[in-house]
Amino acid sequence: MIVELSPRATEIAEHARQLLAAGGYNGFSYADLSERVRIGKASIHHHFPSKVDLVLTVVMRHRQQSVEGLAALQRHVGDDPLAQLKAYADYWARCIRDGSSTMCICAMLAAESPMIPPEIAFEVQGYFQDLTAWIAGVLERGEGKGQLRLQGNNALVEAQTFMSTVHGAMLTARALGDPESFQTIAHAAIGHLSN
């Protein structure tokens, strides 16, 4: 699903994404957003009548951008599954290191899933399903090429394990205040999958 927004709504959504990455669903209000975007709360409500509308839009855009980004990564890296895993990990390492996105918003929202609106939880679940499917496909191709090995030939479980490790590494980097720890952990996880 393509989420089309006006330039102002896009700006609001981008600031909301940053606030979600920093503190999750309950970590910001329209007052916080108003201060960052420098417009009144009424103007934000014009674009996004409720916080649910706003966050749902942000998550849908994040999911869409992730699918497009993974496809672009595959085109850029080529048919090299090991290089694809490394490029995925390196993307997040750069985001964490430069502060552009220190945490995946869907990871933050997944931690809050019992307390967030169900329509947002549904989109978050879809994000993780999309990512798991992509990683599983990469792992299967990597095993077929002799680059990667799967425990018990179960690509889905290995994909979930890798995905969990990557998102856990984001949390570790944040908790330790050490952006480099993310790349160390993510590359160790790739190393465990490599032949």
Tens digits of per-residue pLDDT, 98-121? 988 889 999 999 999 989 999 999
Phi/psi at 112 (5° precision): -100, 5
pLDDT of 84 reads 97
Tens digits of per-residue pLDDT, 174-193? 999 999 999 999 999 999 99
Residue 89 makes CB contacts below 8 A (sequence gap 6+) with 166, 183, 186, 187, 189, 190
Q: Confidence band (pLDDT; 50, 70, 90) for 60?
A: very high
Residue 20 makes CB contacts below 8 A (sequence gap 6+) with 27, 28, 55, 58, 105, 108, 109
Residue spans of the domains in the chain: they are 59-193
pLDDT of 1 reads 56
* Cα of 176 vs its chain's centroid, Å: 20
Question: Are residues 130 and 63 in contact, defined by beta-carbon separation less than 8 angstroms?
Answer: yes
Tens digits of per-residue pLDDT, 116-161? 999 999 999 999 999 999 999 999 999 999 999 998 779 999 999 9
The superfamily in CATH containing domain 59-193 is: Tetracycline Repressor, domain 2 (1.10.357.10)
Question: Are residues 182 and 169 in contact, defined by beta-carbon separation less than 8 angstroms?
Answer: yes
pLDDT of 4 reads 81
Q: What is the pTM of this model?
A: 0.93
Distance CA 50, CA 140 (A): 42
The CA-based dihedral angle spanning residues 128, 187, 95, 27, taken in that order and rounded to the nearest 10 degrees: 50
DSSP-derived letter for residue 99 is: T
pLDDT of 2 reads 61
pLDDT of 195 reads 67
Task: Give the tokens for residue 136.
Answer: 């599983």
Q: Confidence band (pLDDT; 50, 70, 90) for 26?
A: very high
Distance CA 39, CA 4 (A): 21
